[in-house]
Structure 1
Amino acid sequence: MYTVDDLIFNRSQTIPDVPLVAYPATPRGRSDYVHYTAKDLDRFADHGAKKYAALGLELQNPMSEEAEVVALLAPSNLDYVASIFALSRLGFAVLLLSNRLATEAYVSLLQKTKCNRIIRSENQAKAVTAIQAEMRLSQYPVLKQSDYDIKPALYPRLARQMIGPSASSRTAFIIHSSGSTGLPKPIFQSHGACLSNYSSSFGYRAFLTLPLYHNHGLSSFFRAIYSGKEIAMFNANLPLSGSNLIEAMTSVKPESFHGVPYALKLLAETERGVQVLKDCKLVLFGGSSCPDDLGDRLVDAGVYLVGHYGATEMGQLMTSFRPAEDKAWNYVRPLPKVERFIHMAPRAPNTFECIVLDGLPSKVVSNCDDPPHSFNTSDLFSPHPTIHNAWKYLGRLDDRVTLVNGEKVLPIPYEHQIREHELVREACVFGVGRALPGLIIVPSEKAIGMSKLEVLNSLLPVVTAANTRVESFSHISPEMIEILDVDAEYPCTDKGTMIRAAFYKKFEALINSIYLRFEAPTTGNCEGGQALDRNELKSYLLEVFAGKLGFEGLDESSDFFEAGVDSLQAITARGIMMRELDLGSKTLGQNVVFEYPNVPALAEHLYSLRTGEESTQTDEIEVMRQLIQKYSTFNRHVPGPNITDGEVVILTGATGSLGAHVLAQLIAKEHVKTVYCLVRAASPEGARDRVLSTLAAKKIDFSEKLNKIVCLPSDLSREDLGLDKSTVDTFRKSLTTVIHCAWAVNFNLGVQSFEKQHIKGTYNLLNICLSVATPSPANLFFCSSISAAAGTPLPAVIQETYISDLTHAQNMGYARSKLVTETIIKAAAEETGMLAKVLRVGQIVGDTKNGMWNSTEAISLMIRSATTIGALPALEETPSWLPVDVVARAVLDLAQINKSSPNSTALSLEAEDTSVVYHVQNSHFFHWTHDLLPALRDAGLEFETVSQREWVERLRKSDKDPQKNPTIKLLDFFTEKYDNDRPGRKGLVFLTDKTAEKTEVIRDGYDVVGSGLVKKFMDSWRLE
């Protein structure tokens, strides 16, 4: 064999009838796998090559020593496999592009590889169009099954371009680095190197969950082909979930599993998932480290778990392959051929950084000259106490403490505050991979003679003060604080600075004991404590939340989040339950309080853990269906004689930015008599204070029409909206319109937690509209969000109508709750004939008069980073922003309140299409780099324009104090968005034609850049 194509061709001659590749038969198939032999793959290559040749895709200079490159940008599915085979047969080197790069990265890779032709799938059409705007590039469609899966084989066969020993030195594939430290770099792989790599097969029938455009996935795939063993590919059209993985693996019965730790986590959540892993002879993970608890649990269950460590820039360096009796799965050992190129440099006692030395054939990058041309990985390891040259990954050199839920605690500002106390010599925040942070304190000499309890009690006011200055997830409770001896030694530099990773390693046992103490049973019961029945558990939980956590108003029907329970209190409640209850040797999930969001649901779950009885939890989509069904039967409207002579409006959300501007524009209308602002408050005075203070903060003039505003404390979850009978009676006589703007912006909750106040609240508002004793019901206009449709598979054009597929909401409870409510409103309009409309609102920015824009939002924080890091990123984005007062004007237009008619309820419904949903989106787009950045400079902002990855890197190295550098709080958000291979969702278009017919502000759009609004943003921020 000399080339990768020889591998396919020869296999078709030697083992033509042995299955080599398995892939689902249908696009959404899970278990109906079709098996393809080497003969099939050879046929795919031949027919696919002929298809591309017919399209004009052929070598321009077959005799050239330099390989001609074609890029491949498509999902990693069977069409992708066939396209690789076809291009190899034609003699091309294939540049395998990740599906999630930014345009700048694609262009860089194409230029560096001298590639001007690309194969792309339909869903990547816009990405290719964006590339073509930057460089000359010919495009061709990725193969479809009808192009290559043709039987019988057509003859004569296509003449293969590369035959003979010299072909092995030509480039076969070009993969690329992740680009985590800059633009991704191409890595050239010759046919000979590939075949050498692929020859080291494990010899197992494999199941692959990794894409082929990543080297781990590509190598795993071709190793199976080389060894003549079948490899089954996970369906690229399906989400990676435990149930999908189990169903696929049950069908193909693999001997080896290849995936990332997240896939292991999904499978480890159920006994069936663990069993399918146990049935494999090898479970190989990569891409990130696997939590010890997860790995230990799998290994203890009999899973042969192997990790590997490396980088695209370096190649594979170490793995944890080991004898069966060796349980140290989390200690990697250098590969024999790599061992001499790895140097472990001491960074602290028992802590070493991995350095890759010059000379390693797979190393393509150097970042250090000590030793010369070496690569410092910044990854820290500790050696195994007894196994030679076995290393456990500790973490990165940076100091962030990442909790298990992904929240990033910035420990340095917190520790600084604690260290300021005279009783403290050193303080260290810990909690990497845990549910909540903790604190270890080394007392100073001034604490000599004091007990540890006395030291702790003296420091509690300082801890309380520190907690008030950080996000709630960073709060540290007294139970999570440990006081060391005054003379305790800890790892530090010559200057006395604590070495964090070494500190964690030295006190690992102590840290583990603190968490065990937090969750340990308080009784002698070996199963963990009190064994309670269902009713006793309900009473117990009410006591925990009311008595120990202070939620006195909470009852069995209360949603924990709606009652005010935050993430830290939820974790604290989990710890109490772990300590005090008999859970049948089970462990509670980290997010158990919000997964079972009320007392009955949580009590049932706790009972099932102890007794072993099954407790099923409905998935989110099914919950959405149930909520829609629950709230889609409405009161009957009884027409009455009352005819009002003006608009009487209920407005929710007046304490928010949009609601405040809606309110200001409402009271300015002569035909608007009264606006009732329903507010969550304890009293009418409190409600009024909240509304008026919001108007004042937004610099909205309201003094002349103040008499039109009536502020009422309200509870939307109640049928009467929490109002007295006389107020409800007033509504039934005079209400004309409801404008519903209020909604909790919390992206961590499930859809169930939005039920009481929001979904049910909208339902109650609809019924209030139907209770009005006028000829027709009052109108209702619901301010939804484009997130309700943002999960639609791309590319997509969102019509101005309702969404029928509930999976098309963005994957979070907030968006799903919006879609549920939209569907309920649709049912109300169809069932009752009332005028109820959905307004899907896009990105809102500052107002046109003062430019008042919330400075804590992601976009505004990005812009403001120019003053702290001196740079802004060059983005290939075309935002659709709309000023908040313009959005408010559109809302009133669509609500027909801006009409001269003094009575919108009298409007004929015949002209209203009940299927229309309005899209409040700006039709005037601008370019971030070409339009916005120059406007910011014109507004007086000084900064350097850098690539998006360079900007993230500068932010990463900037001041960690969020008070001085507030953008640092969203470092991980920006890293996720701009410092990886995912360019974000592109190809999602919201139509506005029907909306534009109703409101000229959407029809005409708003020129955010040309209007001078950018300068107003800057001026308003300077005044803060």
Structure 2
Amino acid sequence: MSFPPIPPLPQTQCLSSKTFKRPPLDGSLTIPELYEWVAKNSPEHPLFVYPAESGEVKTIYWKDTIRAIHRCARMVKEKVSPIHAPGEAPVIAILAHCDAPSYLAMHMSVLRANYISFPLSARNSPAAVAHLIKQVDVKYVFVGREPSMKKLLEDAFESLKGQDAEYRLPSASIVPLYEELYGSSDGSTSFPKPIRFINRRLIELAATIYYSDKDLTGLVFAHQVIPLFHMMGLLHMGFACATGVVLAVFEPKSPAILPTPDNAYKAATLTKCQVILTPPSVIEAWSTDPEHVKWLASLESVVYGGGALNRAVGDYLVSQGVCIINGYGRYASAIFKYGPVDPDDWEYLRLSPHMVPELIPYGENTYELVIMQSPLNTLNVVNTEVNGIPAFATSDLLLAHPEKPGCWKLFGRVDDQIMHSTGEKTNPGPLEKILNRDPHVEAVIFFGAKRFQAGVLVDPKPEFQFDPSDEEKLAEFRNKIWSTVQKLNEFAPQHSRIVKEMITVSKPSKPFQYTAKSTLRRNFMLTEYREEIDALYNSLEMSAQTNVAPPTEWDLISTVGFVREVVNKVLVHKVKDEEDIFQYGCDSLQATYIKNILGRTLHDAVNLDPRRLSDNFVYEHPTILALSSHIVKLATNVSVSAGNKNDKKEEMQSLVDKYTAGLTELQPAGDKSSGTENWILVTGTTGGLGSHILATLASNEQYTGVYALNRPSKRSTLLERQQRALADLGLDAEQVLKRVELIEADISVDNLGISQELYQKMQRNVSSILHNAWRVDFNLSLASFEPNVKSVRNLLAFSLTSARPEPLKFIYTSSIAVLHDVSKAQEPLLEEHVTADISAGNGYAESKWVSEQILLKASELTPVKTLSVRLGQLSGGLNGAWNIKEWLPSMIQSARAVKCIPADDKNVSWIPIDLTAKVLVELALADFDSGCVTHIIHPQPVPWTKLANAIASELGVSIVPYNEWLSRLDDLSKSESNGMVAGNGDASSLQLLRDVPALRLLSFFHVLPVVMDQRGNAFGFLKFSVQKSLSLSKTLSDPKLEQLGEADAKAWIGYWRRTGFLAS
């Protein structure tokens, strides 16, 4: 096997050393030959230093090392040569936990003897050792003197015999080319994988240190806690040969000294180390001692790898002057560039310039790192291709620095991200770190893929271990760690929070297994505990129906107490009886839990058919009091009907009156100003449409700048959320945000929840408002939208008290949902205001109507210039991004279960989200009539069939008549309903809701056939007039405007696959 020479390296190393001469790293020499070259040309240069028992620091020079390698090679040949034919190169395994100088001599001697060296991790299990020996056909094993190593090998041999009675333990056979080497990966998913190396690859890895910013020759690297059988150990053996770094180790002796934080500290200080190489756990232990911290601050750098360093520890050490470097690598690819980033960014790293990386967007400003084959990177693992070039997809997710291009933070693993059945993702890494700090906990693994709710498997520390089948002890242990779980829940997004019932504990008969890096074999353990995890979900879902005792009397007082307990149990935190539970975080699946518990209880107590509770039961009664009042009527057989339409209309009008009262009294506090800046205030910019609006506004020179107002979040800064949102849509966050001021605000409270100083500054600068922030949930009642309605009034107050000379423009993104009940109207529906009865019947539509009316009245009573823009169905934008929570994505994801998608021969007038943003900005800049209404839909509709054919082809499903598709969906739904009535199908029925999200919208899909024949567009959508919009927007009226087509449909599918919403 021949390769072109390795390209010339930067002149960064061996610049001033008097004892080390730079070796040839062009690939002309093998690794053993390089060792010979260094020993000959730099014989007096140190390779190892160590503190002797006497306290004296001793040195092992290169000349000493090469003599040891020669002696060891003769011994290896004497033992191995009888078992193989001339010309063969057998695989020789090394299974030892010996001192570093001895291990290096053993490893290099095998290579010098022209054999294949296979360092085995001494931390592997017997089964893993047996697996590796058999897979690579090991012919001879050199085992350490320690009894534990001998026992490990004996058990591995026994395992091999047990698997195959005829298997011959290490003996001669054909092996690969003599220059091939083997190392084993960390085995974090199943058994370790043997990874092939060639001399060329090892030299390339050694040469990567030349891309450092600093000359490292002669620096002493503390290597006490990094075993040489680990990839980082093998890598630094190469660095020592390539640059002359000195490795500080423990004193060579048998048995070898096992590292602890204390003895590693003593050895490192005695040998005057300048760079520390260590896993995070050792750094965290040192951080508790001020003397250790002072010492760390005196070093050149502290390099950690093999896991994540506790953020609080890292922040503290940096504040004390410690230089921390993230030493991230993958499959012996030296990925990071050696050298510090800014202290505050210690978690970030820079990718080494020797690599050619491809960063694949994964969503929320994260990217999967793919390493391309290149002249300096002969990949030893190839698992993909990019543009025809071999590549290694690391499955590692990197988070881009919000302000510094080229700086990245390790976010997690693609295969660790837990995709829930709701489409939400849990990133387990940060949450596991919080729980791992509990004094009762050894390790934890989060789970919940394809489930609604996350859970956690806990491995207690040895002194706290017990048999989890003992329910009393299990409850006691859960209580012990509950305070830490509560801290975790404060940090976690709602869909990632842990309830007590979702904590399970490891069994002594199934101990946690770890890799050579001392990291958990996550997927292996989840497979081991699959049965227990399934039982946990079943138990939770079944017990949720019976844990709350029904009231003894179905009067209002007793029922309120019962409902209160149910709601607070499901929500985890308490809400008041009169508070809207959806304003306190209740989501669709929690609403399903509440409905099912109440339905099951009513069935058991008063023999009520649970199907009498509508799908929207909780949404229609969003407080504990409202739920209780309705349940009392059901339980006592009082006639219950849907809210009277007249009542709805009265409720809608009362909100209009409430939030238009006193509008004429809102006046500027002082004289009109002469402000000339032309800023626009936009709300709700972290969603899909909002991000596109922000990008469009930021590129429009008619505006001086953009104020982007969004709600604060405990989980991340507004800047981080905005950058993730823009990146997810394929937009250049750095470019967009140059002319944007991001502001955390609560527009549902007075003064928008910001300081008076900022409020007044914005009033001086803002000439227009584009109000886009609104909750989107078609199940909620109007009462749940009142904070949104109040935001319209608050922004009007901002406008009317502005002292600018010209009245402000107020553009509001409404919705065609306002036209909820237009059975008698003639299509296309005109761009005009409608009466309350048209919108009544859906809380979302009602809230939009109320806001339109508030703005209409404001335009009649005050100088403010208002425009309500009703948006039609928005489709995926530039990179296909389409919100997975909408009805079409739910229909498409469910296609796998029903094996089809529905047909419709009519047109769709869906409009791409990026195009919508452009039109909105054009409308904001146009001279419109105050108080008017416009529509935004695609003026050139396209047949649904054209899009459906592309989607069906991509998914490999058929296209069937709508009623047939609905029938298949109903068949799946019946099993859920029957299970609820019988009382024995709760767990499976809830799982079905998660796997087939279209079932949650079943009532919506059932309504469609009623209107599909009556209305002009596909799926019962109406035709809308866009004449006003066409007159105000150049983009929308452009005759060259493209229709939706096959490429758009494929882009949507591609986006849903990239985000994990659809299987690839």
TM-score, length basis structure 2? 0.41
| Structure (1 or 2) with the larger CA radius of gyration | 2
